[in-house]
Amino acid sequence: MRRCKVICLAPSPSPSIGRCAIPNVLYTAAKVELLSGALNLTEDVLQLLLVTSGYIPAAADTFVDMGATANDPAGHEIACTGYGAGFAGSGRRTLQSKEFVQTGTQGEFHAAAITWAALGIGATIQGVVMYKRGTSDEDSRLIAYYDLVTPLPTNGADITISFSSSGALVLS
């Protein structure tokens, strides 16, 4: 019997607990778009994609696909049965139940957990990328990168990404 794996994505400054990850990159262009209003976390279509350790995120990264020679998420998306990579692929998941919450002096962005069913053997997930869906990968704005700390091999089980109780993104 294969067991479902649940990965909790905990925002900074929360410590990593088990398979929980700290979002180690909030992309610079996304910060600017958040402040200008060009990025609306509750109204825009936000998605998650899963990447291998080949993707080395940098705050200056801008889009899911930054060209053939670039180190970008599109070039390092996982490959296994049950996960169709690419802009129109079945592997990418849309965030649902998005909301803002105030807790004490901090603002939190929350979204529902997302499950990928029966991801086949052969891929190793190193990170999760949150992005604003555009008309293609070339204009899909990167928002945040969550490193899983410990690589997660797929084995035919379900994979669930669940944000921490503090939210997917936190301003404090």
Over residues 31-56, the pLDDT tens digits come to 999 999 999 999 999 999 999 999 99
Q: Tell me the residue ranges of DSSP E strands in the chain.
A: 5-9, 23-26, 46-51, 93-94, 99-103, 106-110, 114-116, 124-132, 141-153, 159-163, 169-171
Please list the ranges in the chain whose pLDDT falls under 70: 1-22
Nearest 10 degrees: CA dihedral of 110, 21, 40, 116?
Answer: -80
Q: What is the pLDDT of residues 97-114, one digit of tens each?
A: 999 999 999 888 999 999
| Contact in structure between 119 and 79 (CB atoms under 8 Å) | no
The dihedral through the CA atoms of 163, 167, 31, 42 has a sign that is positive
| Rounded Cα–Cα distance for residues 88 and 51 (Å) | 16
For residue 123 the two structure tokens come to 């891929």
| Contact in structure between 114 and 92 (CB atoms under 8 Å) | no
| Rounded Cα–Cα distance for residues 38 and 105 (Å) | 24
Strands 124-132 and 141-153: antiparallel
Residue 6: per-residue pLDDT: 53
| Contact in structure between 30 and 44 (CB atoms under 8 Å) | no
Quote the pTM value: 0.89
For residue 131 the two structure tokens come to 């992005």
